[in-house]
Amino acid sequence: MSNNNLTPLRLPDSPDGWGGWLSERCGGQLATARARAAAIKDGPPTDATALLRTWNEVSMALNNAMSSASLVSQVHPQEALRSQAEAAEQEGNQLSTDLGLDRDLFEIFAAADPTGLD
């Protein structure tokens, strides 16, 4: 994930496209968050700065999913889509909780050498 390639968020072209957009947006971002967290656990970065950069990618993906879900769940006129968005938001909340309680991740962060961090 890189901030060098920022592009505007593409929204659905038609009212019928929102369900698929929401699934793709939230599902994709949650998958990215899970994959980046797994990468930290599978091969922790060698220094604290790299660890924090990777964790930032996890956080950004999680926030991208949850902010999209939250907005749609609050403002979309179709009840079915609001319900779909609420479910995506709950999945994001669950992932956030799971990551926050993950003992392996805690130990990786606790072991990181903060030398060089400001």
Rounded Cα gap, residues 107 and 29, in angstroms = 25
pLDDT tens-place string over residues 67-110: 999 999 999 999 999 999 999 999 999 999 999 999 999 999 99
Q: How far is the C-alpha of 75 from the C-alpha of 14, rounded, in Å?
A: 16
Share of the chain above pLDDT 70, in %: 96
Structure confidence by residue, pLDDT tens digits, 31-42: 999 999 999 999
DSSP H or E segment with residue 92: helix 79-100
Distance CA 39, CA 108 (A): 12
Which pTM was predicted?
Answer: 0.88
Angstrom CA distances, 19 to 15, 16, 65, 84, 91, stand at 9, 7, 14, 8, 16
Share of the chain above pLDDT 90, in %: 83
Average pLDDT, the chain: 93
